[in-house]
Structure 1
């Protein structure tokens, strides 16, 4: 079963890939090449990131213990 770190690593990896895809789309647009299929791929990548974020949040809520859902190093009142 994946852990919280798996989701974080996968989301970060996908975000890097999205940045590369956006750069590729810009290069294609500058060259005057159709980018429809590249934009569809980009939308699928963004949807996958949203799904991973939802899974990460659901997994975080299910974590036992007092640190579930809290920010480390937060302010104390």
Structure 2
């Protein structure tokens, strides 16, 4: 299974791509061009993000060092 930091970076990268895809769909709609294939790609991208978020959440639950020894503000005592 992938590293927690890798999954977080991948989620961030995919969200950036989703934003670009949405802008492209708007441009196509303004130009009067069909956006069916672009919307299909967007839905697949959003599904991939959901899968990555599920993986991230599962890794966070199994990570024993995640909240150990921390107080509000993230300090270690």
TM-score by length of 1: 0.85
Give the CA RMSD over aligned residues.
Answer: 2.1
Instruction: Identify the residue that residue 22 of structure 1 maps to in structure 2.
Output: 22
Note the C-alpha offset of 1:65.
3.2
Alignment of 1:4-43 (within 5 A): 4-43=4-43
Count of residue pairs brought into register by the alignment: 73
Between the aligned partners of 1:71 and 1:31, the Cα distance in structure 2 is 53
Question: What TM-score do the two structures reach when normalised by structure 2?
Answer: 0.85
Secondary structure of the residue aligned to 1:46 is helix
**Relative to structure 1, is the Cα distance of residues 12 and 66 closer, same or farther in structure 2, using a 3 angstrom cutoff?**
closer
Match for residue 63 of structure 1?
63
User: Which 5+ residue runs of structure 2 have no aligned equivalent?
Assistant: none
Is there any run of 5+ residues in structure 1 with no aligned partner, and where? none
